[in-house]
Amino acid sequence: MKPIFGPGPSLQLRLLLAVVVSICLILTDANVGAFAKVRLYLHSAVSPLQYLANMPRQMMDSMSDQVMTRAQLQQQVAALRQRELLSRAEQLTMESLTKENERLRALLGSPLRRDNRKMVAEIMAVDSDPFSHQVVIDKGSLDGVYEGQPVINDLGVVGQVHSVGSTTSRVLLISDASHGVPVRVLRNDIRAIAHGSGELNRLDIPHLPRSTDIQEGDLLVTSGLGGRFPEGYPVATITFYEYQEGKPYADVQAQPVVALERLRYLLLVWPESSRQ
């Protein structure tokens, strides 16, 4: 009969080694910032697997594109044409408003706001790690994606880039328990920070005094403080406000304007300041 574990260290020793190495890894990964560079290479190394895992869905998608009927396509084209017409019409006034805004800002002596460069990214896989809300997108450092880059979609803020590989990167969603966005209430410019709650459809706004003028239904937009998210993108609407006697702060919850469980296409934003 074969020797059970062959030559080499005993099973216990192997376990000890594995435990020590993995604990060291966990601690360095959590505490040493320079480790992100190592992660980039490791991340790039495993990204082919992610492309492979994404293939079945991609095939399904292309198949459902193939089997669309002519009538459906015509309908779609008509709907899209109408939408384009509408958004063009809106853009007409938009342009004159932007000009006006620029002139007013110049009069006030405040810095001009310029359009940000954007790029469309597609979600490849939704992360199945139950503790963090992340998605993987199909753009990486080769496309100019950088760590901490804001990510939005057509409705509002989605999150920020968390780690970058060469062809894929991870986006941390605003609902992640470790994420916070500086926001202001659109109605009256009260500043706050929207923390992720660990649930996809809820953000917490802690440390608001009881006297704060905030109501259910208020829209929160990014305040631009902190310099990471550009100013003015919608983040969430207040869904719950309560103050209990004796507590130091009010209990405020908000719902993200983006349906975070149904993401498909995202926009990467390059804010003006980061290009300089």
Partner 1 sequence: MKIANSRSVVSASLFIALLLTIIPLPLGVDAYRPDWLLLCLVYWTIALPHRVNVGVAFTVGLILDLLLGSTLGVRALAMSIVVYLAASNFTRLRNFSVWQQAMVIGLLAAVSKLVVFWAEYLVNVVHMPENYFHSIITSVVVWPWVFLLLRKLRRQWKVT
Q: Which residues bind partner 1 (CB under 8 A)?
A: 2-6, 11, 14-15, 17-19, 21-31, 35, 39, 42-43, 45-46, 49-50, 52-54, 56-57, 124-132, 134, 136, 162-163, 170, 177-178, 197-198, 200, 261
Q: At what angle do helices 35-66 and 11-31 cross, to 10 degrees?
A: 90
Q: How far is the CB of 221 from partner 1 (least distance, A)?
A: 25
- Reported residue count of the chain is 276
Q: How far is the CB of 28 from partner 1 (least distance, A)?
A: 8
Contact predicate 119/139, CB 8 Å? yes
Q: How far is the CB of 156 from partner 1 (least distance, A)?
A: 20
* Count of other CB atoms within 10 angstroms of residue 173: 25
**Residue among 18 and 86 whose Cβ is closer to partner 1:** 18
**Residue among 131 and 265 whose Cβ is closer to partner 1:** 131
Q: How far is the CB of 178 from partner 1 (least distance, A)?
A: 5
**Residue among 23 and 89 whose Cβ is closer to partner 1:** 23
Supply the DSSP string of 201-247, one letter for each residue: T-EEE----TT----TTPEEEE--TTSSSPTT-EEEEEEEEE--TT-
Contact predicate 188/208, CB 8 Å? no
Which pair of structure tokens corresponds to residue 243?
């103050």
Q: How far is the CB of 135 from partner 1 (least distance, A)?
A: 9
Which pair of structure tokens corresponds to residue 200?
């996809």
Q: Where are the beta strands (DSSP E) in 127-156?
A: 134-137, 150-152
**Residue among 33 and 209 whose Cβ is closer to partner 1:** 33
Q: Which helix (H) or strand (E) holds 48?
A: helix 35-66
**Residue among 172 and 208 whose Cβ is closer to partner 1:** 172
The C-alpha atoms of residue 5 and residue 7 are separated, in whole angstroms, by 7
Q: How far is the CB of 9 from partner 1 (least distance, A)?
A: 9
**Residue among 126 and 142 whose Cβ is closer to partner 1:** 126
Q: How far is the CB of 58 from partner 1 (least distance, A)?
A: 10
Q: Report CA-CA distances (Å) from 68 to 55, 56, 71.
A: 20, 19, 8
**Residue among 153 and 169 whose Cβ is closer to partner 1:** 169
Q: Which helix (H) or strand (E) holds 173?
A: strand 169-173
**Residue among 48 and 227 whose Cβ is closer to partner 1:** 48
Q: How far is the CB of 192 from partner 1 (least distance, A)?
A: 19
The C-alpha atoms of residue 86 and residue 81 are separated, in whole angstroms, by 9
